[in-house]
Amino acid sequence: MSDPKALYQEVILDHNRKPRNYGALADASHHAEGHNPLCGDHITMALRLDGDKVGAIAFEGESCAICKASASMLTTNVKGKSRDEAEVLIQEFRDMATGKLDVASEPHHLGRLTVFGGVRDLPTRVKCAILPWHTLHAALNSAGSTSTESEQDPMHAPIGDA
Amino acid sequence: MKSASAKRTVGAAFDVQRVRADFPILDIKVGGKPLVYLDNAASSQMPQPVIDRLVRYQREQHANIHRGVHYLSETATAEFEAARSKLARFVNAREEREVIFTSGTTEAINLVAHGYGRKFIATGDEIILTTLEHHSNIVPWQMLAEEKGAKIRVVPVNDAGELLVDEYEKLFNEHTRFVGLSHMSNALGTINPVKSMIAFAHARGVPVLLDGAQAAPHIAIDVQDLDCDFYAFSGHKLCGPTGIGMLYGKAAQLERMQPFKGGGDMILSVTFEKTTYNTIPHKFEAGTPPIAAAIGLGAAIDYLSNIGLETIAAHELELLDYATSEVNKLPGVRILGTAEHKAAVLSFIVEGVHPHDVGTLLNQDGIAVRTGHHCAQPVMRRFKVPATSRASFAFYNTMAEVDALVAGIRNVQKVFA
């Protein structure tokens, strides 16, 4: 088990403080909204495809630090990538967050995004990290909106409340 | 109560360290740090005498109840019914048959919405609830209202999180048929002026249900003095097991209600032409109940009664006052819920930090708090926050644990500085 303290590493705190590519994107060709009703996280992801490549990407919204930093780092990692490359990152990020991909021993393309690996030990926070990636997936496929509580969501699982 | 461990606090000054020794779980470490358990409003911990009672029942007394003529069935039935009478005394019910075992507060409220509401509430009728309700005292009534074409009216709160009683009184009209009211708010800790609110409703012939899930662990309950028609709470917030709770109902109300679930134990006779229902409380207890849990809850009531609800409340109030004054000293931290009458709950916002980040960081210090909307989204909306962090105290918490919480919040602010 990795030290969950590693979750709030400086890189994550920095992206939370100064999120990159934050704001609206005037000439977006694709966009989607993501919502986690359990904690109220809400983000929108907008991007412009230039041919097959992500030419520009931006996000905005209200969320916890994990979600915001994940979204910020998503934008810097996905910019310039092809759709297929982006989908690979989405899948790998999901697999890392849910413990299906061991980034220490298996090949991947996540680079610094592995700072989010610690969420797999915090089941209630997995959704926070993953929401921007779900939203990007929805945007690329023009699904319009996504929710961590949608039935199709592979992460769909009830979280207890009192 | 046979436990020596609980008895030794009787008559003596409250000794929190002695009480803590009864709770094995309080000794665990979380990530190498001592556990600081401040999520008691969600569920409290179980003392050794209750654990022992569950084990003894399972090892020596288990059989199905109200059925067999054999030794074990009679023993289990007697113990189960003994737990009912403990609960009846705990809330000062007139009669034991006014106590219905349910799986918890949620089922108790659903029982009333179905058993009373579906029979006596009709199109155009109105049900009064408050902004402070937990979802479990909102959704069953909404389901009923939708089915019947009835209307929900909501009592607002002021900025301190106190019900506006004037507004409550204005909501009454000739269509008002029922009031559902939390005795104590789970999200803010507000203790509502329920006695006078009940009297007001009764003067207009309207029955009142009190959701006591939060109040029961902190306030001595006297249903005769309150004069409520129904009172619901859960065992697991009272140092008892999960899966058990109770509904108190005035006998006259329970008798005129329809059954909730059909099945065994709730009938006197069954033919395919007609079934005759059992008398109360059995009319509302279809199927085999969680017998061990009910007996465990009886043991938990014994444990708490031995310490004394007044002693418990006094210690918890000290914790709350101390925590409130220490947290108020932290710049950038705002307390939600500043009612004059409140208990054991400290909801707070650390400016610029989402409550889930607060909760995760506190957890890294071994501190368990609740973060989120607390199943009280109307409260969150009223105060325009998506969520809060909530520390909630039990009688086994210490001033040192409050200090740990305050240090933990400072650390959160440092990390996010």
B82-114 confidence digits (pLDDT tens):
999 999 999 999 999 999 999 999 999 999 999
Position B21 scores a pLDDT of 98
**Sign of CA pseudo-dihedral B96, B102, B108, B110:** negative
Tell me chain A's radius of gyration from C-alpha atoms.
15
The structure's pTM equals 0.90
Mean pLDDT along residues A88-94: 97
Closest-CA residue of B relative to A128 is B356
Least confident stretch, A128-137, B5-14, B213-222, B341-350:
B5-14
In this complex, do A161 and B374 lie within 8 Å of one another by their Cβ atoms? yes
List the single residue in B41, B374, B416 with the smallest CB-CB distance to A13: B416
Specify the pairing of strand B275-277 against strand B333-336.
unpaired
Using an 8 Å CB-CB cutoff, list residues of chain A that contact chain B: 4-5, 7-8, 13, 16, 38-40, 62-66, 122, 124-125, 128, 161-162
Q: How far does B76 lie from chain A, in Å, by closest CA?
A: 31
**ipTM for the predicted complex:** 0.82
Residue A71 lies inside a defined structural domain of this protein: yes
Cα–Cα nearest to B213, from B247, B241, B179:
B247
Lowest mean pLDDT among A32-41, A137-146, B189-198, B363-372: A137-146
Contact A162 B370 (CB under 8 A): yes
Disruptive mutation site among B357, B358, B362, B385 for chain A (greatest number of A CBs within 10 Å): B357
Contact A64 B356 (CB under 8 A): yes
Chain A: residue nearest B376 by CA? A162
Query: According to the model, what pLDDT value does residue A148 have?
Result: 63
Mapped onto helix, strand or coil, the DSSP state of residue B151 is: strand
Task: Tell me if A39 and B186 make a contact (CB, 8 A cut-off).
Answer: no
Position A158 confidence tier, pLDDT thresholds 50, 70, 90? very low
Domain assignment present for A124: yes
Whether B391 has a pLDDT exceeding 60, the answer reads yes
CA distance B374 to A40: 12
Q: Which of A38, A62, A63 sits opposite B372 (nearest CB)?
A: A38
Determine, yes or no, domain membership for A148: no
Instruction: Give the pLDDT confidence score for residue B164 in this predicted structure.
Output: 98
pLDDT of residue A50: 93
Over residues B116-124, mean pLDDT:
98
Closest CA to B231 of B264, B258, B208, B197: B208
Owning domain of residue A79 = 4-143
Q: What is the mean pLDDT of residues B216-225?
A: 97
B375 is catalytic: yes
Pairing label, strands A145-147, A30-36: parallel
pLDDT average, residue stretch B299-304: 98
> pLDDT grade, residue A145 (50/70/90)?
low
CA-based nearest residue in chain A for residue B414: A13
Query: Is A157 part of a structural domain of the chain?
Result: no
Count of the separate structural domains present in chain A:
1
| A60 token code pair | 């905005």
CA A139/CA B157 separation, integer angstroms? 41
How far is B387 from B397, CA to CA, in rounded Å?
24
The two three-digit tokens of residue A93, written as one number: 């990020």
CA separation for the pair B388, B188 (Å, rounded): 10
Interchain pair B357, A65: CB under 8 A? yes
Q: Token pair for residue B197?
A: 């609110």
Average pLDDT, chain B: 95
Per the CB < 8 A criterion, the answer to whether B150 and B127 are in contact is yes
Residue A150: the pLDDT is 53
The pLDDT of residue A39: 73
Q: How many residues are listed for chain A in this entry?
A: 162
CB A162 to CB B186 under 8 A? Answer: yes
> Cβ separation of A64 and B354 shorter than 8 Å?
yes
Which of A8, A116, A122, A148 to substitute to test the interface with B, most B CBs within 10 Å? A8
Task: Give the per-residue pLDDT at B104.
Answer: 98
The mean pLDDT of B65-80, rounded to a whole number, is 93
Q: Which tokens hold the place of B60? A: 């020596």
H helical segments located in chain A: 10-17, 65-78, 83-97, 123-140
Residue B10 has pLDDT above 70, yes or no: no
Q: With a cut of 60, say whether residue B7 has pLDDT above it.
A: no
- Please report whether residue A162 resides in a domain: no
pLDDT in tens, A9-40: 999 999 999 999 999 999 999 999 999 877 77
Q: Provide, as residue numbers in chain A, all residues whose Cβ is less than 8 Å from the Cβ of B217.
A: none
In the prediction, which pLDDT does A156 show? 40
CB contact under 8 A, B353 and A65: yes
pLDDT for res A122: 87
How much is the pLDDT for B121?
98
Locate the chain B residue with the closest alpha carbon to A122: B360
- CA dist B388 and B357 (Å) reads 11
Q: Which of A66, A124, A162 sits opposite B43 (nearest CB)?
A: A162
Query: What pLDDT is recorded for position A153?
Result: 46
The reported pLDDT for the residue numbered B68 is 80
Structure confidence at residue A149 (pLDDT): 58
- φ, ψ at A32 (rounded to 5°): -155, 160
- Is the four-CA dihedral B375, B377, B378, B379 of positive or negative sign? positive
Q: Has residue B11 got a pLDDT over 50?
A: no
Q: Is residue A60 assigned to a domain?
A: yes
User: Which residues lie closer than 8 Å to B259 by C-beta, 6 or more apart?
Assistant: B115, B266, B277, B283, B284, B286
For B309, counting Cβ atoms within 10 Å of its Cβ (0-12 exposed, 13-18 middle, 19+ buried), the class is middle
pLDDT at A144: 59
Residue B56 structure tokens: 């003894």
Walk me through the domains of chain B, giving residue ranges and CATH numbers.
4-45+309-415 (3.90.1150.10), 52-305 (3.40.640.10)
Mean pLDDT in residue range B247-263:
96
Share of chain B above pLDDT 70, in %: 97
- Distance, in Å, from the CA atom of B220 to the CA atom of B128, rounded to the nearest integer, reads 25
- Tens-place pLDDT, residues A100-114: 999 999 999 999 999
pLDDT at residue A159 tops 90? no
* Residue among A4, A93, A81, A2 at smallest CA distance from A49: A81
Residue B401 has pLDDT above 60, yes or no: yes
Using one digit for the tens of pLDDT, what is the confidence trace for B169-214?
Answer: 999 999 999 999 999 999 999 999 999 999 999 999 999 999 999 9
- Could you say which of B375, B385, B399, B407 is catalytic? B375
Query: Which residues contact residue B161 at a Cβ distance below 8 angstroms, ignoring those fewer than 6 apart?
Result: B132, B185, B188, B189, B190, B336, B337, B338, B339, B342, B379, B383
Residue with tokens 């023993």: B75
Under an 8 A CB cutoff, do B41 and A162 touch? yes
Contact B298, B83 (CB under 8 A): yes
Express as a percent the part of chain B with pLDDT over 90: 89
Residues of B with CB under 8 A from a CB of A: 31, 41-43, 135, 186, 353-357, 360-361, 363-364, 370-375, 386-387, 415-416
CATH number of the structural domain spanning residue A55: 3.90.1010.10
SS3 content of chain A, % helix, strand, coil (to 5): 45, 20, 35
User: For residue B165, what are its two tokens?
Assistant: 């009683």
Q: Which residues, other chains included, contact A90 with Cβ-Cβ below 8 Å and sequence gap of 6+?
A: A133, A134, A136, A137
**A161: in domain:** no
Does residue A101 fall inside a structural domain? yes
Q: Strand, helix or coil at B222?
A: coil
For range B227-240, the mean pLDDT: 98
Is the pLDDT assigned to residue B1 strictly greater than 60? no
